[in-house]
């Protein structure tokens, strides 16, 4: 595990974007695993800037997103498909057909999970996986559990996660209660994993996940065992390490 400490969120974003840029330059047809949430927005902004400057070409890049809320269409402004389109895909020359996000409106969620696993099998293993970190240690929407789920599956979201995400909805009641998420087995198979963390409110869980025992009760703790894991965090988030 490698740790990169930065001054603030913007510096964190530039460092994470450096790693992703290097990946895209070194392997123009790479498969990126992508995350949503507030942590990687700055990273995506820097990638867009580098694309606009002519330094990055996404035309052969493929992407597989971590997760999606059950019940939200890609047009819903809180869906993760919408997030990705607006925070990255619409601003670079990635082929929309090469971008993958679970279908939150699938009637048969089990079939959707199987379909997504097939996509991962075809495009994977992921070259670089981007992750954020939930306050309860979740990665993707893999919440604390008694085991590490391997493949894409449906999850009931924890209250703490629903509360954390309520800020994006009109009220807590509107936050979907379930999501489809890539499994931890798939994340661990990525050749490289980059986690972005920022802010004092993440310091406790960063400490627990990366200095505590490896346990499915803190899903991110498994990353201690990944052979190529890079934690990019600002001073505040890493202050208790
Ligand atoms: C998002 C995702 C989540 C977030 C996590 C942290 O696709 O998979 O695990 O990374 O909830 O969210 P932020 O970055 O908003 O603190």
* C-alpha–C-alpha distance, residues 20 and 56, integer Å: 10
CB neighbours of residue 119 within 10 Å: 14
131, containing H or E segment: strand 128-131
Q: State the pLDDT at residue 40.
A: 98
The residue whose two tokens read 């996509």 is 119
State the closest ligand 1 atom to the C-alpha of 39, by its place in the atom list counted from 1.
14
- List the chain residues with pLDDT less than 70: none
Q: Measured in Å, how far apart are the chain's first and last C-alpha atoms?
A: 13
State the closest ligand 1 atom to the C-alpha of 181, by its place in the atom list counted from 1.
8
CB 139 within 8 A of CB 131: yes
Q: State the pLDDT at residue 161.
A: 83
Catalytic residues: 67, 136, 138, 143
Q: State the pLDDT at residue 2.
A: 98
Reference 127, options 238, 54, 53, 25; nearest CA is: 25
* C-alpha–C-alpha distance, residues 32 and 127, integer Å: 6
Beta strands 153-156 and 229-234: pairing type? unpaired
Nearest CA to ligand 1 atom 8: 140
Name residues contacting ligand 1 (CB within 6 A).
35-39, 66-67, 80, 132-134, 138-141
* C-alpha–C-alpha distance, residues 181 and 175, integer Å: 16
34, containing H or E segment: strand 31-34
CB 100 within 8 A of CB 64: yes
Q: How far is the CA of 76 from the centre of ligand 1 (A)?
A: 18
CB 102 within 8 A of CB 63: no
Q: State the pLDDT at residue 164.
A: 84
């Amino acid at each position: 595990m490698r740790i990169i400490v930065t001054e603030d969120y913007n510096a964190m974003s530039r460092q994470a974007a450096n790693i992703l840029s290097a990946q895209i330059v070194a392997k123009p047809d790479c498969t990126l695993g992508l995350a949503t949430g507030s942590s990687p927005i700055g990273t995506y902004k820097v990638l867009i800037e580098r694309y606009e400057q002519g330094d990055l070409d996404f035309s052969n890049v493929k992407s597989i997103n971590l997760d999606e809320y059950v019940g939200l269409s890609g047009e819903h402004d809180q869906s993760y498909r919408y997030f990705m389109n607006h925070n990255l895909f619409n601003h670079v020359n990635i082929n929309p057909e090469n971008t993958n996000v679970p279908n939150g409106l699938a009637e048969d969620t089990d079939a959707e999970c199987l379909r997504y696993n097939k996509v991962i099998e075809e495009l994977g293993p992921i070259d670089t996986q981007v992750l954020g970190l939930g306050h309860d240690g979740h990665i993707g929407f893999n919440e604390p559990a008694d085991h590490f789920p391997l493949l894409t599956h449906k999850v009931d979201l924890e209250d703490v996660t629903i509360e954390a995400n309520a800020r994006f909805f009109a009220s807590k009641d509107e936050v979907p209660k379930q999501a489809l998420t890539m499994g931890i087995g798939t994340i661990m198979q990525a050749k490289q994993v980059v986690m972005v963390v920022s802010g004092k409110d993440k310091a406790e869980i960063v400490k627990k996940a990366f200095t505590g025992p490896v346990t499915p009760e803190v899903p991110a703790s498994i990353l201690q065992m990944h052979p190529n894991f890079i934690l990019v965090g600002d001073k505040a988030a890493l202050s208790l390490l």
